[in-house]
Amino acid sequence: MDPTSVRVADAERDRTVEQLREHVVAGRLTLDEFSDRMGAALEATTRGDLEDVLRDLPPAPPASVVAASPRSEPRSHIAVMSGHRTRGRWRLGRRTRAVAVMGGCTLDLRQAQIEGPEVEITATAFWGGIDIVVPEGFHVDLRGFSFMGGRSLRLRDVPLVPGSPHIVVNAYAVMGGVGVKSRPSRLHSRPLDRPEDPHGDPRGAVAPAWGDRVAAPATASDRTVTIVFCDMVGYATLTDRVGDQASHRILQEYHRIVRDVLARHGGQEISVQGDGFMVAFDGAARALRCAVDVQRVLSAHVPADGDEPIAVHVGIHTGDAVADGEDLLGRTVIVASRLADVAAPGEILVSSLSAQMVLGSGEFTFGAPREVALKGIAAPQPCSALSWE
């Protein structure tokens, strides 16, 4: 009998997760890599599956042998009347300090290499702002105080990652703000070329195992992606009409609804600018399904007492995009954004290219083709409205 085909028990899965955690402490895995491999370990059914998770890692020493590094001086990230951003693969010390004085500071921990099972970040904002981004499923303990400022902890409601490092944030906001939020893995760590079935449905796709040989990591700069822009209708006038607090409450509800829909359809949230979402999909069909779902959910949404209904207009375009860190740039992005600008309330305006990619499925219905003038685009853009009601 092939030893790799022997089925494994929960205890063996747990031991593999513990080994992965020790590799994180040793600096061999980033937080994102740990999260992804941990998921593969917990889903493993055979010893071969567990071996694939650890294939490119040396044997980890027992936990008792992993020496604790001496308590060092905290590493500092400072922004004074300027901006400071730390992201990508960087070394996150056990103690880290972030200071923003009339400036902005961002720490993205998702690709960071940590030095221990617990990370302590002291964030001080004086007339400035500090944003800390953590991987989804990690526990964060927010402490500290604020004076004429604010502290926020916004973590996605997902299961905690077993064995994940404990993150402590000591936040001190004086006429400023410190925010901690969770976000999914960065775009370049999630290839945008997942195989689909002939009808564009990803549920039949088979993801590569950890032991498979895969080509260089996919990035948006060498892939065709479908970009979706979703903007609220009349948010500025809504704020003027109902006031800051009421409009902010409506905005938060809108963010919650859209993110719930994205989670169902596998969209990669690229950015949120106030009332506008920019999302990337690895298939046009998936993008259109998501846009239809957003419109249907919002049309059926019953506002809280005193609040107003939420309406959105959506623009969709497919093409190559250029990756700039975790952002996307290029003509594809611009066209999708401009289509959303000219779309009517409740309308999903789809470029002719995106529409052509799904016509063969018979799943979608479009209105009459038309051409629209887009700001900054010389030639009129052929497009049509996607029917969703």
Report the CATH number that the domain containing residue 366 is assigned in CATH.
3.30.70.1230
Low-confidence winner among 233-247, 330-344, 362-376 (lowest mean pLDDT): 233-247
Closest to 110 measured CA to CA, from 76, 143, 87, 141:
87
Which pLDDT band holds residue 228 (cuts at 50, 70, 90)?
Answer: very high
Write out the residue range of the structural domain in which residue 23 sits.
3-65
Strand partners, 350: 316, 384
Task: Give me the pLDDT at residue 347, please.
Answer: 95
**Is there a single domain that holds both residue 137 and residue 242?**
no
Domain-embedded: residue 242: yes
Beta-carbon count within 10 A of 366 CB: 17
**Per mean pLDDT, which range of 192-201, 347-356, 376-385 is the poorest?**
192-201
Cα–Cα dist 261/291, whole Å: 9
Partners of 168 in the β-ladder: 120, 141
Claim to verify: residue 232 and residue 312 sit in the same structural domain: yes
In this predicted structure, what is the pLDDT of residue 40?
Answer: 77
Output the pLDDT for position 223.
Answer: 61
CA 18 – CA 38 distance, rounded (Å): 9
In a shared domain, residues 172 and 295: no
Helix (H, G, I), strand (E, B) or coil at 63: helix
Distance CA 374, CA 174 (A): 43
* Residue pLDDT, tens place only, 326-361: 788 888 999 999 999 999 999 999 999 999 988 888
* pLDDT score, position 239: 83
- Count of domains forming the chain: 3
Mean pLDDT value across residues 204-225: 41
Whether 247 and 303 map to the same domain: the answer is yes
Choose the final residue of a domain: 142, 161, 183.
183
Are residues 117 and 54 both part of a single domain?
A: no
Whether residues 210 and 301 share a domain: the answer is yes
The answer on 29 and 109 residing in a single domain is no
Give percent above pLDDT 90 in the chain.
Answer: 22
pLDDT, residue 217, reads 35
